[in-house]
Amino acid sequence: MELSHRLKSIPPYVFAEIDKKRQAAIARGVDVINLGIGDPDQPTPRHIVEAMHDAVENPVNHHYPPFGGSKEYKQAIVKWCNKRFGIELNADTEVTSLIGSKEGLHHTIMAFIDKGDINIIPDPAYPVYRTSTILAGGEPYFMPLTPENKFIPDLDAIPEAVLKKAKLLMLNYPGNPTAGIADLAFFEKAVAFCKKHNILLVHDLAYSEMTYDGYKAPSILEVKGAKEIAVELHSLSKTYNMTGWRIGFAVGNAEAVAAIAKIKSNVDTDIFKPIQLAAIAAFEGPTDHIDFCNNLYIERRDLAVERLKALGWPVQPIKATFYMWLPTPKGMSSADFSALMLDKAGIVVPPGTAYGPNGEGFFRMSLCLDKARMAEAFDRMAQHSITYDMLQAKV
């Protein structure tokens, strides 16, 4: 059996690998604390689950769903986007359904990247940006995101030769894994830049509602004229605690939306109707669970900041997402630190390099466990002398 070059050219999916290591540790009897994947620990709100129950009982919903999302789903998206961001969208031409934003990102890349094309992506970034570009035969060009540039890339530093071959430029604010945030002024710059260079701007807004301390995340489509060049991918996973349901949507530039819908209709047959109906209940129902969960994440963030500071870490409170992007102990690689956390303390944290070359020297910690379990993780770190200056302390 010979695998395709395409498949051989990408690494295994980071969380599939981490899960294997986690399962192996559990099998050895380790009580593993998982600060790895970003999967909300709270349940999907009741009204959404009930809408699914009702819909699944109706045989009319058991058939193939319409390609690109049902009319009702697309209209509910238009209303939600209007209420949340003040943007106008045409449900027929500027909206399409996605089986979560991971699938949407992959298919957006497949729809636009050919062999030899460049996709300009942040580094570090959600691994799919890079791997799907390689699967499409293209080449990622990395825009470094660092604490020094506040995780905002310098678009003017992208070489002319790269811009000539680039078909896409991807952004993600609030950002995974860095928790970086952007304001509308940066989005205006990015839209003008992509228009000038005729590059489709793809904005991943999976964490739009997960924001704290008064910060509200803008949509890139709030920029005047953005629809001429931008498409935005949304997910219900994090906002509504629906990671397992696999539902999202793309909005914006009609040509890009049609391209995504075309490729998808050739490879999948959309989202089970009851899930779309549950998503409508999510858009139209009460939103108190969002504040409830955000308050939980704030409490966990504050605990993590306090306990990490006590272990010597330089750390600032995040204003969005449920990820903390932290430097590894001075002198230790990302891979070594991740392995040490699991081997010594039974704690899962992804190495920064899983998110791109610029992730070396960092690791990600998610806030998806209750405070007691998180406190236990910090207790274990202290107990095993896992501190920011642990290598210096040894000398």
Given the rule CB under 6 A, which residues bind ligand MLT? Answer: 15, 37-38, 102, 176
Burial 317-342 (b: 16+ CB within 10 A, else e): ebbbbbbbbbbbbeebebeebbebbb
> Residues 13-17: contacts with CB within 8 Å, 24+ apart?
13/127, 13/131, 14/127, 14/350, 14/354, 14/355, 15/350
Is 204 or 232 the residue whose CB approaches ligand MLT more closely?
A: 204
Is 363 or 388 the residue whose CB approaches ligand MLT more closely?
A: 363
Min separation Cβ 126 and ligand MLT, Å: 6
Is 229 or 248 the residue whose CB approaches ligand MLT more closely?
A: 248
Is 172 or 276 the residue whose CB approaches ligand MLT more closely?
A: 172
Min separation Cβ 37 and ligand MLT, Å: 4
**Which residues are paired to 233 by β-bridges?**
204, 250
Min separation Cβ 125 and ligand MLT, Å: 10
Nearest residue to ligand MLT, scored by beta-carbon proximity: 38
Min separation Cβ 323 and ligand MLT, Å: 7
Is 37 or 303 the residue whose CB approaches ligand MLT more closely?
A: 37
Outline where DSSP puts E strands in the chain: 33-34, 95-98, 118-123, 139-144, 166-171, 200-204, 230-235, 248-252, 323-327, 347-348, 362-366
Is 38 or 352 the residue whose CB approaches ligand MLT more closely?
A: 38
Min separation Cβ 80 and ligand MLT, Å: 21
Which SS3 state, helix, strand or coil, does residue 121 take? Answer: strand
CA angle (378 as vertex; 244, 215 as ends), nearest 5: 60
Min separation Cβ 261 and ligand MLT, Å: 22
What is the rounded radius of gyration, in angstroms, for the C-alpha atoms of the chain? 21
